[in-house]
Amino acid sequence: MKMKLILIIMEATKPVMKSAAYGVIAAMLLLAAAQPAQAANYAARIQFRHGHFEPQRLTVPARQPLTLRVVNQSRRAIEFESFKLNRERVVAPGRTITLYLPALEPGRYDFYDDFHQEVPAGEIVAQ
Amino acid sequence: MSLAAAAIPPSECRRVCVALALMLGLLAAAPGLRSARAQVDPFEFEVYPYRTVGEGVAELEWLNSYVPWGHQHGEIGTSAGTLPSNQMLRTSGELTYGLTDHVEAAGYLNLARPNAGGVQYGGAKFHLRGNLFEQGELPVDIGWYVELESWPTPGIDTDPLELELKPILEKDIGRWSFILNPIFEKPVFTGPDRNRGFEFGYANGVYYRWMPRISPGLEFYGGSGFIDGFLPVQTQQHYIFAVLWGELPWGGVEYNCGPGVGLTHGSDHVITKCNLEIERFVGALL
């Protein structure tokens, strides 16, 4: 009787269990993909104060991953954005954000405050 | 930043809990409704990237689609209701707010205008979307998305209440971005299908960053039916959209528009989409 009940429950929950199994497989695949990025990043820092970025031109080594900290020392929120780098992050007043950038090919990559178009754009020069 | 340091801090957890409680409250308050097979969501032809709107940012989005060449009967193609998809115009207003730098909440209002008919209320949706790590911190950026969908108008959709879950995977290679949104959706609480498990669908995109004002992309949308019994291929829906996207030269309005074609008999033949969005910093509300 007990076995029959278990079989009925198993049959009734079969579709749900099957979906759950797919979910577990998907989660495992995601975890497998989520390996830490390489650690040997070049570290740099940009701060925003007095209405502009400092430094306005940041030179970094080419073909080396970059960890970029953006510090907002102003009293207004900014949006640090770079189309070429595909980055767009709000930085609240007094806050610091960290951006992880892949190894850059030699070249110039502009960035700007998308909330305030009057702010002079800066650039990252990879060489 | 270490992986451990990237975990959500307690203050963010609190805000996420508030938003989750709101969604659960909406679920609990929803009336008892019947269930049917869900399809591609024609009110939202959008591929979600890893990046969420920032904390304190409000984003208003206007999602539009029109079916110039669809089906003459309901419950086929993008029609999930009794009204035919042919010449159906759908529009959806979406308001998104960044609860934290890693979690956003959004609400939608859907309207539809069928061929030779007036505007009808299509339903409402609510979603939470987030991520745990900074973009580029992992080899593949992985985010999450939870959505509750209410479809009270049988002419628009006979599936009254659905829960949608989707992981978000994004990988940038040079100027290219590859985004996958596998979709797992199920009717909840009522109806004969409520215990059948999840339906599978997808919204994927490949984008090339050419110029800020205009860039090309390809988007792929589809639905295959329930995971425990996929539909025959010809009755599934699969679409390819060629899109142009970028930022208009005035007002910071971003767009993503283009035509799409159906690849199977179960798909509408031609669909056009045009999404517009604008964002403003409004400050932290929670």
pLDDT at B238 over 60: yes
**What's the pLDDT at A5?**
53
Q: Which ipTM score applies to this complex?
A: 0.77
Grade residue B250 by pLDDT with cuts at 50, 70 and 90.
confident
pLDDT digits (tens, 9 = 90+) for B57-83: 999 999 999 999 999 988 888 888 888
pLDDT for the residue B241: 98
Q: Which helix (H) or strand (E) holds B281?
A: strand B270-281
One domain, residues A47 and A19: no
Q: Calculate the CA dihedral of residues A83, A87, A93, A98 and round it to 10 degrees.
A: -140
**What pLDDT score was predicted for residue B191?**
60
Q: For residues B159 and B148, what is the distance between their CA atoms, to the nearest angstrom? A: 12
- Residue A24: phi and psi, rounded to 5, are -65, -45
Does residue A84 share a domain with residue A54? yes
In the structure encoding, which two tokens stand for residue B111, read together? Answer: 């309207």
For chain A, say whether B154 makes contact (Cβ under 8 Å): no
CB A77 to CB B135 under 8 A? no
Pairing outcome for strands B176-187 and B199-208: antiparallel
Interface check for B249 against chain A (CB to CB < 8 A): the answer is no
Answer yes or no: is pLDDT of B239 > 90. Answer: yes
Q: Both A69 and A93 in a single domain?
A: yes
Does A113 share its domain with A62? yes
Which residues neighbour B278 within 8 Å (Cβ) at sequence distance 6 or greater? Answer: B59, B60, B251, B252, B253, B254
Task: Work out whether the CA dihedral A55, A59, A60, A66 comes out positive or negative.
Answer: positive
Pick among B50, B134, B165, B200 to test the A interface (most A CBs inside 10 A) = B134
Q: Residue B6 pLDDT more than 80? A: no
User: Do A8 and A26 lie in a common domain?
Assistant: yes
Comparing alpha-carbon positions, the chain A residue that sits nearest to B173 is A102
Is A115 at the interface with chain B, CB within 8 A? yes
CB contact under 8 A, B136 and A37: yes
**Does A42 lie at the interface with B, CB-CB under 8 angstroms?**
no
Contact A15 B98 (CB under 8 A): no
Q: Indicate the class that CATH gives domain B10-285.
A: mainly beta
- B141 interfacial to chain A (CB closer than 8 Å): no
Q: What is the distance between the alpha carbons of residues B178 and B170, in angstroms, rounded to a whole number?
A: 6
Task: Answer yes or no: do B281 and A90 touch at CB < 8 A.
Answer: yes
Kindly state whether residues A24 and A68 are assigned to the same domain: no
The model carries a pTM of 0.81
pLDDT tens across B258-272, in order?
A: 999 999 999 999 999
Residue B153 or A58, more confident: A58
Q: Are B32 and B74 in contact (CB under 8 A)?
A: no
Tell whether the model's pLDDT for residue B33 goes beyond 50. Answer: no
The total of structural domains in chain A comes to 2
Q: Which residue of A has its CA nearest to B215?
A: A83
A34/B137 CB distance under 8 A? no
A63 → chain B, closest CA residue? B174
A49 lies in the same domain as A102: yes
Domain around A13: 1-35
Angle (nearest 5°) at CA B148 between B147 and B149: 115
User: Which pLDDT band holds residue A8 (cuts at 50, 70, 90)?
Assistant: low
Q: What pLDDT band is residue B115 in, cutting at 50, 70 and 90? A: confident
* pLDDT for position A4: 57
Residues A30, A55 within the same domain: no
Average pLDDT, chain B: 85
Instruction: Determine which of A2-16, A45-59, A97-111, B38-52 has the lowest per-residue pLDDT on average.
Output: A2-16
Report DSSP letters for chain A, one per residue.
Answer: -HHHHHHHHHHHTHHHHHHHHHHHHHHHHHHHH-PPPPS-PEEEEEEEETTEEESSEEEE-TTS-EEEEEEE-SSS-EEEEETTTTEEEEE-TT-EEEEEEPPPPSEEEEEEETT-TTSPPEEEEE-
- Check pLDDT > 50 for residue A126: yes
pLDDT of residue B196: 77
A65 and A111 fall within a common domain: yes
Contacts of A105 in chain B (CB under 8 A): 174
Give me the percent of chain B exceeding a pLDDT of 70: 83
CA angle B169, B17, A21 (to 5 degrees): 45
Report how far residue B191's alpha carbon sits from residue B34's, in angstroms, rounded to the nearest whole number: 5
- Residue A13: per-residue pLDDT: 46
Pair of tokens at residue B133: 């790590």
| Same domain flag for A81 and A24 | no
Pair (A28, A51) in one structural domain: no
- A90 and A53 co-located in one domain: yes
**What is the pLDDT, as a whole number, of residue B187?**
85
Write the CB contacts of A100 (distance below 8 Å, at least 6 apart in sequence). A37, A41, A65, A66, A67, A68, B134, B135, B136, B137
| H or E element that contains B13 | helix B10-29
pLDDT confidence of residue B281: 86
Residues from chain A contacting residue B283 (CB–CB below 8 Å) = 77
Dump pLDDT digits (tens) for B171-188. Answer: 999 999 999 999 999 888
